[in-house]
Amino acid sequence: MSRGGKLRVLVVDDSALVRKTMVEILTSDPDIEVMGAASDPYAAAGMMEQEVPDVVTLDIEMPRMDGLTFLRKIMSQHPLPVIICSTLAEKGGDAWLKALEYGAVDIMTKPKVGTRQFFEESRIRICDAVRAAAKANLKRLTLKPRGVGPALSADAVIAKATRPVLTETTDKVVAVGASTGGTEALRVFLEALPEDSPGVVVVQHMPEKFTAAFAKRLDSICRVTVKEAADGDSVLRGQALIAPGNRHMLLKRSGARYHVEVKDGPLVRRHRPSVDVLFRSTARYAGQNGVGVIMTGMGDDGASGLLEMKEAGAYTIAQDAETSVVWGMPGEAVKLGAAQKIMPLDRIAAEVVRACKA
């Protein structure tokens, strides 16, 4: 960090407009300082020889050397928190997943010139992502070779239930929330679930259009079916639904059947989708038939929602600090007394199965 205690960020992108926009966004935060902006990895390497940044934001498609190659060099020679910041396209999903495998802390879309609201939301996400990256436990990223704007509560999307849930079904439903480091944590968790697992609903903080590729990749390696959720999808045994990027997902119930509602809405706890929104809806419609799991992630999204689930009779679990990339969300849940169990990542799936059979 600089003498003033600010986080030093190096921006690497071949677009002059993107570099200018990123510098404007990052310097708007009083805790962040841009140490430089490079047009390609070679220029970035020269800057890093003079001064090591706290965080690097890195594009994928660049001349002379692509971002993935540069990422591998950084992580093999001098591991640093790296955030991939690239244009999203469905065909680019594999490249983004590969970036996470190589050790990128987070992924986010490039800020675009658009409405003031879009720019402000991009500013919130990017600055929060830089803070989270700076706190990342890089050792945890080798399991396998985001003070800007209001932090709205779940009230902005769904009102808190005023009456206890009337239990009309004995079907269990598992609600999971994660952020920084969560793509790997979810892989470990979902891979360990049996094919007859109770239905799972997941919010992972992730950009729009990326969640479909993420779900497809998980579906190819897990015994449970994994898919990006669509509005009205039923919550079924042996299936995990992942909230689409940039859309909130709520659990709903019609009689004895659970389904999901996918909808727009404001950022909640600085995120869309929001874990708090999912957890509150699960508390409301599943009650004591719910199991809540909060995993690695920066900030406090999901902490109060997990407490609401616990108060509604659900069984609640938080990932422990040792196996979390960032013990922010689960740590805040623990502070609130929302978690009945604090567990390492590799034991959570078995505990969920046990709880659902109890």
The predicted model scores a pTM of 0.76
Question: Which candidate, 62, 80, 76, places its Cα nearest to that of 12?
Answer: 62
Domain residue extents for the chain? 7-142, 164-357
- What is d(CA 291, CA 173) in angstroms, rounded to the nearest whole number? 6
CATH dotted code for 164-357? 3.40.50.180
- Classify residue 304 as left (phi > 0), alpha (psi -120 to 50) or beta: alpha
Backbone torsions φ then ψ of 182, nearest 5 degrees: -75, -25
Q: Which fold has domain 7-142?
A: Rossmann fold (3.40.50)
Show the CA angle centred on residue 352, arms to residues 346 and 354, nearest 5°: 110
Q: Could you report the per-residue pLDDT of 251-307, keeping only the tens digit for each?
A: 999 888 999 999 999 999 889 999 999 999 999 999 999 999 999 998 899 999 999
Tell me the average pLDDT of the chain: 87
Indicate the pLDDT class of residue 42, thresholds 50, 70 and 90.
Answer: very high
Scored b (16 or more CB within 10 A) or e, 87-99 reads ebeeebbebbbeb
Domains 7-142 and 164-357 share a fold: yes
If DSSP codes are grouped into helix, strand and coil, which group holds residue 285? helix
For the chain, report the end-to-end CA distance as a whole number of angstroms. Answer: 49
- For 327-350, what is the mean pLDDT? 97
10 Å CB burial of residue 354 (0-12, 13-18, 19+) is exposed
Indicate the pLDDT class of residue 99, thresholds 50, 70 and 90.
Answer: confident
Please give the residue that has the higher pLDDT: either 150 or 20. Answer: 20
Token code pair at residue 17:
């407009």
Catalytic positions, written as ranges: 179, 205, 301
